Amino acid sequence: MSDTVLSLDAVEKVFPNGVRGLAPVDLTVRAGEFVSLIGPSGCGKSTLLKLIANLHGPSAGSLRWWGSDFRGVGQKGRRLAFVFQDATLMPWANVGRNVRLPLDLMGVDRASGDARARTALARVGLGHAAERYPAQLSGGMRMRVSIARALVTEPDLLLMDEPFGALDEFTRNRLDEEMARLCYQDGLTTLFVTHALHEAAFLSSNVMVMAAHPGRIHARYAIDRTIVRDEAFRLSERFAEISRELAVLLEAASHESHLAAEMQT
Ligand SMILES: Nc1ncnc2c1ncn2[C@@H]1O[C@H](COP(=O)(O)OP(=O)(O)OP(=O)(O)O)[C@@H](O)[C@H]1O
Ligand SMILES: [Mg+2]
């Protein structure tokens, strides 16, 4: 289908030491979806995200990006961006320069780079902070800069691996609301790894609950896209219900992972 961003067909990953990071995984992501990967440690969330970012290749199966192989991403003018758990900013450069970096690498001229960096910073509520240095920012602000640096290339697919894990709950909730706006209002397709069930319940249109030994998708859970992801939703009975249902699925996935680990030993 034309709105298919990603399709994974029986994708497996076996590491050189023999560890089966991922058993066959099938996954389709469509434009505008917010897909979360949750599951116990070691279930292959990062492995899956890195396969999708083409940071490593599959041992078996096939991945397609907008219907093509990875070379087609650039050829079709599509872009991926990756946000890691750590903001990884250049300490000697101010915020504007940090955000401009991907454009510098693409050879975009300085004036348009600066303008686009300011726009990206404004999208994460940091329009005023371009002249500041990373050491002058809070952890939440640094993470916002990291998101702005990902947004500055106007990606078609944003990959995030536990981006808010190190933040306090209040800051994390605010950033989750910003992420929800980027996806549900601006249409940014996002794949998001998190350990936090409530974060997945708040943000996702689709949740992949993964199990370990080997890593695989244990259950898929869809959430109505039309829900407005705001503070009222967080306090609603519907949110509590989604969280409860995800907790049950996660508990079952963890239980299966433990059983599988015991069988392997
Ligand atoms: N480069 C590697 N070489 C060998 N084994 C690896 C490698 N990378 C990951 N693994 C193994 O593959 C499995 C999946 O790892 P992965 O990092 O994807 O898990 P995860 O779900 O992201 O866990 P966490 O929640 O702790 O980040 C684990 O058993 C891990 O030890
Ligand atoms: Mg991980």
* CA angle, residues 108, 109, 113, in degrees to nearest 5: 75
* CA angle, residues 196, 198, 195, in degrees to nearest 5: 10
Amino acid type, 26: D
Read off the pLDDT of residues 209-241 as tens digits, 9 standing for 90 and up.
999 999 999 999 999 999 999 999 999 999 999
- pLDDT value of position 168: 86
User: In this structure, are 172 and 151 located in the same domain?
Assistant: no
Report yes or no on 240 lying in a domain: yes
User: In this structure, are 74 and 16 located in the same domain?
Assistant: yes
HSE, CB side, 13 Å, CA atoms: give it for residue 22: 28
- Of 127, 155, 183, the position where a domain reaches its end is 155
User: In this structure, are 106 and 235 located in the same domain?
Assistant: no
Count Cβ atoms below 10 Å from residue 259 Cβ, excluding itself: 12
Read off the pLDDT of residues 67-100 as tens digits, 9 standing for 90 and up.
999 998 988 889 999 998 888 899 999 999 999 9
Q: Above 80 in pLDDT, residue 64?
A: yes
Which whole number is the average pLDDT over 251-255? 94
User: In this structure, are 16 and 43 located in the same domain?
Assistant: yes
Count Cβ atoms below 10 Å from residue 254 Cβ, excluding itself: 18
Torsion from C-alpha of 68, 70, 75, 78, nearest 10 degrees: 90
Report yes or no on 84 lying in a domain: no
Read off the pLDDT of residues 127-186 as tens digits, 9 standing for 90 and up.
999 999 999 999 889 999 999 999 999 999 999 999 888 888 888 898 899 999 999 999
User: In this structure, are 185 and 243 located in the same domain?
Assistant: yes
User: In this structure, are 50 and 120 located in the same domain?
Assistant: no
Report yes or no on 178 lying in a domain: yes
Q: What domain range includes position 255?
A: 4-78+156-264
User: In this structure, are 129 and 146 located in the same domain?
Assistant: yes
User: In this structure, are 194 and 234 located in the same domain?
Assistant: yes
**Structure tokens of 11?**
């994708």
Report yes or no on 85 lying in a domain: no
User: In this structure, are 21 and 141 located in the same domain?
Assistant: no
Q: Above 60 in pLDDT, residue 8?
A: yes
Pocket test for ligand 1, best of 11, 12, 15 (most atoms within 8 A of CB): 15
Q: Whose CA is nearest to atom 18 of ligand 1?
A: 44
Nearest to 51 by CA among 36, 67, 41, 65: 65
User: In this structure, are 132 and 49 located in the same domain?
Assistant: no
User: In this structure, are 60 and 99 located in the same domain?
Assistant: no
Pocket test for ligand 1, best of 43, 48, 217, 250 (most atoms within 8 A of CB): 43
- CATH number of the domain within which 49 lies: 3.40.50.300
Report yes or no on 255 lying in a domain: yes
Report yes or no on 86 lying in a domain: no
**Structure tokens of 4?**
């298919």
Report yes or no on 241 lying in a domain: yes
DSSP 173-188: HHHHHHHHIIIIIT--
User: In this structure, are 19 and 136 located in the same domain?
Assistant: no
> What is the 132 CA–ligand 2 centroid distance (Å)?
31
Q: Whose CA is nearest to atom 1 of ligand 1?
A: 15
CB 63 within 8 A of CB 230: no
Q: Above 90 in pLDDT, residue 1?
A: no
Instruction: Name the one residue in this structure whose structure tokens are 């961003």.
Output: 5
DSSP 223-239: --TTS--SHHHHTSHHH
- Which ranges of 161-222 would DSSP assign to H, the alpha helix? 169-180, 197-203
**Structure tokens of 130?**
């371009």
Residue 30: pLDDT band by 50, 70, 90 thresholds? very high
206-211 and 216-222 beta bridge pairing = antiparallel
Domain count, the chain: 2
